[in-house]
Every structure is written in structure tokens, then in C-alpha cells.
Amino acid sequence: QLQLVESGGGLVQPGGSLRLSCAASGVTLDDYAIVWFRQAPGKGREGVLCISSSGGSTNYLDSVKGRFTISRDNAKNTVYLQMNSLKPEDTAVYYCAARNYYCSGPLFTGSWGQGTQVTVSS
């Protein structure tokens, strides 16, 4: 079973930055696409960014374009979400999950962890 663990969230002021990490123990992520998604209070889950097994990225939200970037470090078996110029509307629980090789591939719905809370507030 692939089980991912998210970390790096916290409280930040508008305009600040956070780097979220998505990691797995005992399983190599090299052959998986990893997608970050988020869920704000009272809203449904929405995809944010995805990175394929080959490193190509897919952006699902115009609102984060130019502010968020996704990357992976296979040596560390970790995928990152760098979030800059944060806005209050970015407040949400952020999750990562795995897809089969490509960002267009099937989602392993049981792969996500408990998520990490990001709160953007002054």
C-alpha cells in the first residue's frame, strides 16, 4: 500500500511563503505522478498542481499560476509544493496523492495522508 505523508503547513501572513512536502516511507515514488490538491472549509476538493514521473507538470488552477511551483527530488523520495505570494483564499488543508505515471492517469484514492493545514491570515 502506498501511503503519503504531507508536512510543512502552518500559519503565514498574506504575501508570505511556505514549502509543503509529500513523502513516503518504504515505497519509491519515481514511477508515480504526484498531485497536490486542497480543500477549504465549506468547499470541495480541488486539484492544484501535478508532477508526472518524468517531471512534467500540470497546473489545474489559474489562481495559483505564477505563485505555486511543484518539484520532485527522487533522491529524497519527496515531492514539494512551493507556495509564494500567499493569499487568504489559499487557506485550506493540502493533500498529496499518487497517480499512475502520468498526471492524466488513474488516481490512487487511498494514497493520501491526513493533509497539512495552510492558513493565510493577518
Calpha distance 75→59 (Å, rounded): 24
Calpha distance 3→47 (Å, rounded): 19
Residue 117 Cα to chain centre, angstroms:
12
- The pLDDT value recorded for residue 114 is 93
Calpha distance 64→41 (Å, rounded): 18
- The pLDDT value recorded for residue 1 is 78
What's the count of helices (H) and strands (E) in the chain, helices before strands? 0, 11
Q: What is the pLDDT along the chain (122 residues), one digit of tens a residue?
A: 789 999 999 999 999 999 999 999 788 999 999 999 999 999 999 999 999 999 999 999 999 999 999 999 999 999 999 999 999 999 999 999 999 999 999 999 889 989 999 999 99
Placement of cell 514511477 in the chain: 31
Say if residues 36 and 118 touch (Cβ distance below 8 Å). no
Residues 6 or more apart in contact with residue 85 via CB below 8 angstroms: 15, 17, 67
- The pLDDT value recorded for residue 66 is 97
- The pLDDT value recorded for residue 110 is 87
- The pLDDT value recorded for residue 22 is 97
- The pLDDT value recorded for residue 84 is 98
